[in-house]
Structure 1
C-alpha cells in the first residue's frame, strides 16, 4: 500500500518539480531574483518545497478519500493504486498533473517572452549569478519545457485511458466507497493484457518514471560540471586504491577538472 501511495505522489511530483523550475527560470528571465538576500532565498526554498513536496503529499492524502480498496496487483507489473471511479476522484486526484502542467506552460510562455524582451541583458544577468550559466539555464528551460509538453498530453491521456469504458459511479457515502477496504485485487497478466486500453495504461505508468530519469540524465549527465564530478569521484576511488589519479586524469584529458 505504501508503494502505491508513492506512485500517486510521483505522478504529481514530476509536473510539480517542472513547475518549480519554470518559476525560477521566469524569475531569472524577468530580472527579479538574481541577487537575493538570505530571507528571500529562504522564502523561495519554502515555496519550492510546498509545491514539489507539499502538493504530492496532499494528493497522497486526498487519494484515501476515493481509494475503494487497498490496491491492485497486476501480474508482471506489481502493485498499482486503486482509485474509485467517482466524480470526486477527478478534482481530488486526477486533475493535479494536468493542472500543474498547464501552470508550467504559462510560466514557460512568460519566460520565453521575458527572455526575448531582455535578450540583450541576458548574458550579463546570468553571469552575475555564481551558480547559473547560459548553458545551464537553457538546459533547465529545455528540461522544464519537455516535461511540460510531455506531461500535459500524457496526463490528459492517462485520465482518459484509465476511465475509458468505465461507468462513473455516484458518490453515495464514505462507508459505501470504502466497503471491504482491506480487499486486494489480483489480476493475472492474461486478463489485464487482453484489454488494449488497460495494457497501455499499465505499461505507461510503468515506464514514465525511468523515461523521465533518462531525459534528465540526457540533459545534465554529460554537462561540463557533471563530467568534472565524475572525474573527481574517479580520482577519489583510484587514490584509495593506491594509484595516481592525476596521471590517469592527464591521459584522459581531464587535468583541468582535478587542478
Structure 2
C-alpha cells in the first residue's frame, strides 16, 4: 500500500513538474527574445556608422552570415587574457569562455567544462567556430545555464528527476531518500553541462553529443541520468541507506565502466 501511495504521489508530482518544465522553457524562450531585442535596440541607438554586434542577436542554432563570423573572429582575437579570478585558464579557449559568458551572462565554470569537451574535436576548431559550437550546444541542450533564475530552475528539475526516478525505479528512489541523498547532490552537473561533467571518459561525451546534435531533445540529460543510475543500481542496493552511500554514488557515476 505504501508503494502504491508513493507511485500515485510520483505521478502527481510528475504532472506538476512537467508543467513546471514547460514554464521554464517558456521563460528561456522569452529571455532569449528579450536579449535579441535589447541588442537590436542598442544597434539602432548606436546609429548606422557604429560597429554591429558580434553574433549576439543571431539565433545560436542558425549559422551566422560570413560578415558576422568575421566580426566574431576579430572580437575574439581582440579579447584580452581572461581574468584570473574566473579560474577558467589562460589559453585561447578561455577568451572564448569569457566572451561567451559576457554575451549570454552564463556561468563561467559551467561554460569552461563544455568548451573542454569541444576542444577534443578534430581538426581543432578555430576560436570563432568554437564559440558558435558552444552557443548552439548550450541553447539546445543546456539552456538552464543561461536562465536568470538558474538556481530555482535547477531545483525544480532536480525534483522532477526524483519524481521520474520514483516512477521508474521506486526501490532506488526510496533508498536514496532514506539515505538523505537528494538529486541536487549528483544530477546538477548533468543538467548544466549535458553530461560533460561527471563522466570519466570525455570521448563518451562526444558520442552522446553526436547523437543529440541530430536527434536530441531538451530532457535527454534527465533520462540519460536515469540510465546512468540504473548502471550502478546493484552497488547502491548492496550498500544500503548508510552515510557512505552518497560517496559511493558519486564514484560509481564517474567510473569509466559506466561511461
Q: Which band: TM-score by shorter chain? A: under 0.3
TM-score (norm 2): 0.23
TM-score (norm 1): 0.23
Report which of the two structures shows the higher radius of gyration computed on alpha carbons: 1
Q: Which protein has greater RCO, CA pairs closer than 8 Å, 6+ apart?
A: 1
